[in-house]
């Protein structure tokens, strides 16, 4: 059927773009559908310094290189669309967009990625875009000469806190444990930065202000004592939630909404594969997403051959 793609990939982050590169290079008719901007969480990363073979590159630049590679191999990419319906159980799969267009394929790779996990505290919704941010790359320069709070203790929190010191006069990291979950080099770089201070074993309980963020309420977990601290902004880096709501009930998921896959990235539905931050996995890095996308594309190609 002329209007049926060999491969349809939902999501254009690192996993989806990699799958598109492999699939289209294998001369499979490939379409990527992406509900946001191409690049996913990659474009929110100020600097990627641990991508093999590349000493240092911005997430935005790396995403654009991947996008160009996929297109150069013949992959079609449609972004900033909204998917309203999936039909995945038949031999020919269907995806319908909000504007009524329907796309069909013989295999599908789900690579919906994730989104920043919110704090879920009072004042967070009120001050989103008014002092609260989840992206240092996007919003760091708005806080030039300001004092900031960064919430989190993983690699993203520490690395983005360091990047924020290019703009801010002071960055205070608030973390719920007495130790960090980041790699040692990230911890060392943050601790050696004179603009960064730390409040450990503590959590934010409220964000206050008039029109913009002005102060935060911090609880010291061992004692329960609460104090207020003045700040001009809050950056939140406490992990991600999978963007899998639209395929809930269509493929097997765990209780966190992550898609269950096997070692070949196969889901519970024949012909449907998944990759990237939306699947069950321990480590979420650009490199692991690229590996997922590679495996999913090769497995899907094998499925089509058989």
Give me the mean pLDDT over the 13-21 stretch.
98
On the question of pLDDT at 125 being above 70, the answer is yes
Mean pLDDT of the chain: 95
CB 163 within 8 Å of CB 46: yes
Instruction: Give the model's pLDDT for residue 53.
Output: 94
Instruction: Give residue 37's pLDDT band: very low, low, confident or very high (50, 70, 90).
Output: confident
Give me the mean pLDDT over the 182-188 stretch.
94
Total-model pTM: 0.82
On the question of pLDDT at 144 being above 90, the answer is yes
3-state secondary structure of 16: helix
Instruction: Give the model's pLDDT for residue 49.
Output: 81
Instruction: Give the model's pLDDT for residue 207.
Output: 98
Looking at the chain, the number of H-run helices and the number of E-run strands are: 6, 17
Q: Nearest CA to 214 among 167, 147, 165? A: 147
Hey, which CATH number is domain 4-115+240-305, 3.30.565.10, 3.30.1360.70, 3.50.50.60, 3.40.710.10?
3.50.50.60
Give me the mean pLDDT over the 245-268 stretch.
96
Q: List where CATH 3.50.50.60 sits in the chain.
A: 4-115+240-305, 118-236
Instruction: Give the model's pLDDT for residue 31.
Output: 98
What torsion do the CA atoms of 204, 206, 210, 212 make, to the nearest 10 degrees?
Answer: 40
Percent of the chain whose pLDDT exceeds 90: 87
Instruction: Give the model's pLDDT for residue 1.
Output: 46
Element (H, E) at 116: strand 114-116
Instruction: Give residue 251's pLDDT band: very low, low, confident or very high (50, 70, 90).
Output: very high
Give me the mean pLDDT over the 215-230 stretch.
97
> Has domain 118-236 been given CATH number 3.50.50.60?
yes
On the question of pLDDT at 149 being above 80, the answer is yes
> 180-186: long-range contacts at Cβ-Cβ below 8 A with a sequence spacing of 24 or more?
180/153, 180/154, 181/153, 181/154, 181/155, 182/153, 182/154, 182/155, 182/157, 182/158, 183/155, 186/155, 186/158, 186/159
């Amino acid at each position: 059927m002329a209007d049926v793609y060999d491969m349809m990939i939902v999501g254009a982050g690192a996993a989806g773009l990699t799958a598109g590169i492999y699939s289209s290079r294998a001369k499979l008719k490939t379409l990527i559908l992406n509900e946001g901007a191409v690049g996913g969480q990659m474009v929110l990363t100020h600097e990627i310094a641990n991508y093999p073979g590349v000493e240092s590159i911005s997430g935005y630049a790396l995403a654009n290189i991947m996008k160009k590679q996929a297109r150069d191999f013949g992959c079609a990419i449609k972004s900033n669309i909204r998917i309203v319906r999936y039909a995945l159980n038949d031999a020919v799969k269907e995806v319908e967009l909000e504007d009524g267009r329907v796309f069909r394929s013989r295999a599908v790779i789900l690579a919906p990625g994730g989104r920043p996990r919110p704090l879920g505290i009072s004042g967070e919704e009120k001050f989103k875009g008014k002092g609260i941010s989840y992206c240092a790359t996007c919003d760091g320069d708005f806080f030039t000469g300001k004092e900031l709070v960064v919430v989190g203790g993983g690699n993203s929190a520490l690395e983005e806190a360091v990047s924020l010191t290019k703009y801010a006069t002071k960055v205070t990291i608030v973390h719920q444990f007495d130790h960090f979950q980041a790699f040692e080099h990230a911890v060392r770089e943050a601790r050696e930065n004179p603009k960064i201070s730390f409040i450990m074993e503590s959590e934010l309980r409220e964000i206050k202000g008039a029109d913009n963020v002005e102060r935060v309420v911090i609880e010291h977990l061992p004692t329960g004592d609460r104090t207020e601290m003045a700040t001009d902004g809050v950056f939140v880096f406490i992990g991600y939630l999978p963007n899998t709501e639209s395929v809930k009930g269509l493929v097997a998921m765990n209780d966190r909404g992550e898609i269950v896959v096997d070692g070949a990235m196969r889901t519970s539905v024949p012909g449907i594969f998944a990759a990237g931050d939306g699947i069950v996995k321990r480590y979420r890095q650009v490199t692991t997403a690229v590996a997922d996308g590679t495996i999913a594309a090769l497995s899907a190609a094998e499925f089509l051959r058989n």
